[in-house]
Amino acid sequence: MAGNSFGQAFRITTAGESHGPGNVVIVDRCPPGIPLSVEDLLVDLDRRKPGQSKIVTQRKESDTPEILAGVFEGRTTGTSLSILVRNEDQRSRDYSDIADLYRPGHADFTFDAKYGARDYRGGGRSSARETVARVAAGVIAKKLIARAFGGEVLGYVVQVGDLVAQVDPDTVTLDAVEQLPDGSPNITRCPDAAVSAQMVELIQAVRKDQDSIGGVAEVVARNVPAGLGEPAFGKLKADLGAALFSLPAVLGVEYGIGFRAATMRGSENNDTFVREGDVTRTRTNRHGGMLGGISSGMPIVLRAVVKPTSSLSREQETVRRDGQAATIATRGRHDPCLLPRFVPMAEAMVAIVLADHWLRHQGQTHAF
């Protein structure tokens, strides 16, 4: 699989960098007849875009998408679908003085090792700016799974630094993620209002200290039917893990009970089965909605660990391309915490995987 493409039956290909003219996505094998407009795309693009609050980067981008192909009279045509989002507020001059320096935590050194050259403006191809194209594709995937099986994908922040929120993935709502009880914007996207307020204070303190902070985002996919995924290669959990790990700054992924299973006995970890009407389900969901690499019909619950932003305005030790010791302080506009804007990125990738596996499942089980 090419390094710029993802998926099989529902396949996306992206191109673009943080400081180039724009970012584009081509979506192949999207079924015809799905309603799609610029306004539809803007819902999630606005949740992802920079400058949306006081605790994210202040880069200003309208992130208005242009649908170039694959939509006619407001519906997908079934042919290749292309969406472009132009970059409008690049400040490449902020990076001219670090062209020969390796930024700690960034891919500068590894890009040089792989390609022998790199785009030093922002993060280039590895910048989170590239994810604007994925979020656009994710909107289409969300529409597909909602239409196919009533699927819903919702992400939210459960941890920033040592602040941890308790959120029930079975009942959490989009309103709780996006709004506080008083109706004001929930700028952290943590559904626990009390913890969210503490997170805002922590992120602001970290920014004042010329530093950054990491955390954890959780994503739940609900109403996913049992049977999606493969038992060996092509496991649903493996593709979901690959999807989340493909996002910038992700250092760990778990699902269900995750790493806590290491301390349990089998009798504690197993989810027992029950029959409710015509539906077989489990009493609990420590397995996170997947057994043997195949969806079980229970909510799919995943968590991604997102590292602190690598670009810091405080001075750090590094080396130049020629190996000479140096120091670096990165200028530019950067998120002190990536989590609030990471949420729609993670939702998009989970939805893309589910759309892909649904179409693969249909082709495999409904061929005759």
Q: What is the pLDDT of residue 352?
A: 98
How many structural domains is the chain composed of?
1
| DSSP letter for each residue of 275-338 | EETTEEEESS-TTTTEETTEE-SSPEEEEEEEPPPS--SS-EEEEBTTS-EEEE---S---S-S
Round to whole Å and give the CA distance between 14 and 182: 39
Angle at which helix 339-365 crosses helix 38-48, to 10 degrees, equals 130
Report CA 12 to chain centroid distance, whole Å: 14
pLDDT for residue 333: 67
DSSP type of residue 65: E
pLDDT tens track, the chain, 368 positions? 468 999 999 999 999 988 889 999 999 999 999 999 999 999 999 999 877 888 887 777 788 999 999 999 999 999 999 999 998 866 655 667 778 899 998 888 999 999 988 888 777 788 888 999 999 999 999 999 999 999 999 999 999 999 999 999 999 999 999 999 999 999 999 999 999 999 999 999 999 999 999 999 999 999 999 999 999 999 999 999 999 999 999 999 999 999 999 999 999 999 999 999 999 999 999 999 999 999 999 999 999 999 998 888 888 999 999 999 999 887 766 889 999 999 999 999 999 999 999 999 998 887 55
Rg (CA), the chain: 21
CATH number at residue 267: 3.60.150.10
C-alpha to C-alpha distances, 269 to 24, 109, 254, 258, nearest whole angstrom: 44, 42, 15, 10
H/E element, 263: none
Q: Are strands 163-164 and 75-76 parallel, antiparallel or unpaired?
A: unpaired
Count CB atoms within 10 A of the CB of residue 296: 25
**Whole domain around residue 85: which residue ranges?**
5-365
